[in-house]
Amino acid sequence: MTDTADIRFLLTIQQSGSLVATGRKLGLSPSAVSQRLQQLEKKLGTRLLDRSARKLHFTEEGALLCQRGAELIEQFDALFDELQMRRGGLVGKLKINAPLGFGRRYLAPVIADFQRDHPDVDIALTLSDEPLTETADRFDIVVHIGALRASNLVGHAIAPNARFVCASPAFVKRFGMPETPHDLAHLPCIVLHENKEDASLWHFSKGRTSCSVRVESKLSCNDGDVIRRWAIEGRGVILRSEWDVADDIRKGALVRLLPSWKAPDANVVALTRNRAGLPRRTREFMQYLQSRFRPLAPWRG
């Protein structure tokens, strides 16, 4: 008879996509993972993975065990959550995915403080330059910044976040202050590649007037911190989230350009698979997260 540890092991293989990745996640060598899998197959008397396939492929029995096993694990964890709730505490695992820069600066401290207050909750934070491209069912919460494409995920508002066009004072002194968004087409710009967006097409509005500008870029990166540093060094104009550049604008390291024109907001939201029926640890973390950004987001404080 198998137990929950065996099912969790098999689900980790399914989520990781390979025995090598499973080993990294579990802190085991690939040979140790393979050996444990063989022991599980021997215990069950059936083959769970087809090793002749070029890609990781579960047999019909392996796929069934993953599907039904995941349901049982969820019920098992919910049962122990309920028992812990009766003792007045939180327990269980919480898996969170978030953007690199925002996760480092603002989310990591919140998570550490929440875990300190609830020591029986294990929290795994994954930082990514494209959180929405990750497999959504791998995470309990996905933090997202900006417009949300069509999705079956449920959004929970965390904090408002505008986007500003910025450059260094030295850059403005050299090239002058642009008067309209169309002037940006003739200036060196730096673009950020994220969420598979058209990074060099910038949109603006002013009252009922709206326009889009295709900017020229000799520098680009998928890390917002890199393009911010390049802008501070005077290498070009950036379109960047308020949370990332507000401090630099206050300090004078960056100058906001075109303040009368508005770029589309990129508000911070947390995404879950469901609105109702969330584990108590997920609900309470969401409330805690929202409380840390209200009534005023830290970049507006």
My answer on whether 169 and 252 are in the same domain is yes
150 and 136 share one domain: yes
Q: What percent of the chain has pLDDT over 70?
A: 91
What is the identity of the amino acid at 75? Q
The confidence band for 1, taking pLDDT boundaries of 50, 70 and 90, is very low
Is the CB of residue 10 less than 8 Å from the CB of residue 69? yes
pLDDT tens-digit readout, 99-108? 999 999 999 9
Domain match, 218 and 173 both: yes
Please check whether residue 190 is in contact with residue 220, taking contact to mean a CB–CB distance below 8 angstroms.
yes
Q: Is residue 262 part of a domain?
A: no
90-112 in b/e form (b: 16+ CB < 10 A) is bbbebebbbbbbbbeebbeebbe
**CATH number, position 155:** 3.40.190.10
Q: Could you give the CA distance from residue 41 to residue 47 in angstroms, rounded to a whole number?
A: 6
pLDDT score of 176: 95
Question: What is the chain's mean pLDDT, rounded?
Answer: 88
Q: Say whether pTM exceeds 0.75.
A: no
Residue 88 has pLDDT above 70, yes or no: no
Q: Tokens representing 134? A: 């990750």
Q: What is the dihedral of CA 261, 265, 266, 269, to 10 degrees?
A: 160
The whole-number pLDDT of residue 82 equals 67
Answer yes or no: are the C-beta atoms of 35 and 22 closer than 8 Å.
no
Query: What are 144's two structure tokens?
Result: 């997202």
Q: Which two tokens stand for residue 124?
A: 């795994």
CA distance 55 to 65: 19
Q: Is the pLDDT of residue 87 over 80?
A: no
CA 108: distance to chain centroid? 12
Q: List, for residues 212-234, the tens digit of each pLDDT value.
A: 999 999 999 989 999 999 999 99
Location of structure tokens 């540093």: 229
State whether residue 133 is helix, strand or coil. helix
Q: Residue 85 — pLDDT band, cuts 50, 70, 90?
A: low
Give the model confidence (pLDDT) of 126-156 as tens digits.
Answer: 998 776 655 555 789 999 998 877 667 888 9
User: Total structural domains in the chain?
Assistant: 3
Q: Among 1-15, 78-92, 187-201, 269-283, where is mean pLDDT lowest? A: 78-92
Q: Where are the beta strands (DSSP E) in 89-193?
A: 92-99, 121-128, 141-145, 154-159, 163-167, 189-192
184 and 217 in a common domain: yes
Could you tell me the residue range of the domain that residue 275 belongs to? Answer: 89-161+267-300
Domain boundary among 29, 63, 84: 84
The owner of tokens 């497999």 is: 135
Residue 279 confidence (pLDDT) above 70: yes
HSE value, Cβ hemisphere, 13 Å, CA-based, for 132? 19
Q: Please check whether residues 253 and 278 belong to one and the same domain.
A: no
Q: What is the predicted pLDDT for the residue at 92?
A: 83
Above pLDDT 90, what percent of the chain?
53
Backbone angles phi, psi at 294, to 5 degrees: -130, 150
Per-residue pLDDT averaged across 22-49, rounded? 87
- Tell whether 224 and 177 lie within a shared domain: yes
One domain, residues 76 and 105: no
Residue 176 CB coordination number (10 Å): 10
131 in the same domain as 50: no
Determine the 3-state secondary structure of 200 from DSSP: coil
